[in-house]
Amino acid sequence: MPKIKTNKSAAKRFFRSGTGKIRMFRACKSHLLEHKSSKRTRRLRKAKCVAPCDARKVRRLLPNG
């Protein structure tokens, strides 16, 4: 049986936490930051957990990660 390939675009966006949950970085942090508040940009730095309904799909894309 052939090896299952990792989806590279998903590997760049998602990662697994120490407890096994799928985590992702938040959007809206790359540009147009001038009008966004400091509080908002600090909050966007932190990763968040992927919703359980989407986590199953992401796990399928990341078989080895």
In this structure, what CATH number is given to the domain that contains residue 26? 4.10.410.60
Residue 31 resides in a domain: yes
- The one-letter amino acid code at 18 reads G
- Enclosing domain of residue 25: 8-61
Which pLDDT score, from 0 to 100, does residue 41 have?
96
Per-residue pLDDT tens for 7-26?
Answer: 999 999 999 999 999 999 99
Share of the chain above pLDDT 70, in %: 100
Number of domains composing the chain: 1
**C-alpha span between 24 and 57 (Å, rounded):** 14
**C-alpha span between 44 and 29 (Å, rounded):** 6
Q: What residue ranges in the chain does DSSP mark as E strands?
A: 14-16, 22-24, 48-49
**C-alpha span between 9 and 14 (Å, rounded):** 9
Residue 1 resides in a domain: no
